[in-house]
Amino acid sequence: MGRSRGACWLLLTIVASLSGCGGSGEPKLEGAVTYNGEPVASGSLSFMPVAGGTPFGAKVVDGRYVADKPSTGKFKVMVSGNRITTVPKTREEADALARQNQGRSLPANYIPEDAAGNAQEVNVSGGGETLDFAITGPPRE
């Protein structure tokens, strides 16, 4: 009985010590994403290696992104913003929306590749970093 009790104690000690290592020790890259000063409600970031390395990406939700276990190295970062559309519930809402847009609509990705701050090069070390992306410019036509 003493031997199995000691083995259980050892196992519990190992499990307890490992449970504290998972959260903060994991490499993570996170930050804010804005377009013309407003948080990007829905979109994505694409990290394309400049010289070697593995590409990776992250979703943007409510102006924030998190990339778990990012690759390390130098990357060109492309920011895209997805248009969020509301579906009119009544004919009157549909007519009002049509008058407001006057036949114009934003493309699915409304952030141009050549907007200021987009396609910038960044270094990722993979050690719990924060990188914010503030993109500016007129929306894609």
Query: What is the pTM assigned to this prediction?
Result: 0.68
User: 26-135 adopts what CATH topology?
Assistant: Immunoglobulin-like (2.60.40)
Tokens of 47: 């990290």
Listed residue (30, 59, 17) closest to 129, CA to CA: 30
Q: Give the mean pLDDT of 55-61.
A: 96
Confidence (pLDDT) at 19: 35
More confident site: 121 or 53: 121
Residue 49 has pLDDT above 90, yes or no: yes
Tokens of 29: 């890259």
Alpha-helical (H) ranges within 20-127 are 22-25, 91-101
Q: Give the mean pLDDT of 59-69.
A: 95
Domains of the chain: which residue ranges?
26-135
Give the pLDDT band of residue 93 (cuts 50, 70, 90).
Answer: confident
Confidence (pLDDT) at 17: 33
